Structure 1
């Protein structure tokens, strides 16, 4: 399990493998926000779709599929970003791409001209401590949701009401 800051909150991304040699990715769980929130639902949906893509029988190797998933998710931007330079996280899908990339030996960097490393290997999360750390304890943070009025991820649940820090929308 990896812990990574994203524009929609702290994400916990769990990668499960089949235990082979080398271990092949089998499924991914993405948890961000509170259960029942729109962000949580979208993160769960993204994790399920990636897991389905990893499990399908195909003439394409599982590591090539991982690289294609990284290529498709990498660089997707949203309204807000986190970090700078190579530590920049543009969205939740971009964060998932960075975790997959680091976990399978690409060190979280974009692939020039679509070139894919031939022999993916596992790397430890400590290789890039500023970007990603193993999840040991849950840090206390505010969980944001998507505001139905402005569409930004600035809606919080406080004192029994929903309140948007972006546009001022509120609902009790």
Structure 2
């Protein structure tokens, strides 16, 4: 199993090497890697939890600074946000879907074919409500029923800004959990 390098080694790596670590913590995503390289890597952090929480803070700022971000970087903020969030696989993705090693492990307990069908229906409703996004939630410790209730509530709420913020929070919670599981001194 992959093991994260010590944090000082990660900080000293070339961007291509850092991308491998970032892909393990989050999901493989060129947009997220670009964002982290431009808005996080140069900041001070001395552990993976600090690094992940810096990513969390900067992603939250991104959700709230559309015009400034776009003008400063020549990158449309909503497109960047959607690219980052949609890098996560659909919850309950069919078994034929190629998932990262970490996502496959996290989703394997989601249940029967009936549950898979229910999740597929909810994913479709979610993606119609929030075009360009994927439902992202920290699954660990939640029952299937809790996840379904959460997904239904978020669809009913129909608040795109809050949805983007919650998706980023969940991504970072997932990354913290993955870092802990990758058996490194945090």
Greater strand content:
1
Classify the TM-score, shorter chain.
under 0.3
Higher relative contact order (CA 8 A, sep 6+): 2
In the superposition, the TM-score normalised over structure 1's length comes to: 0.28
In the superposition, the TM-score normalised over structure 2's length comes to: 0.26
Greater helix content:
2
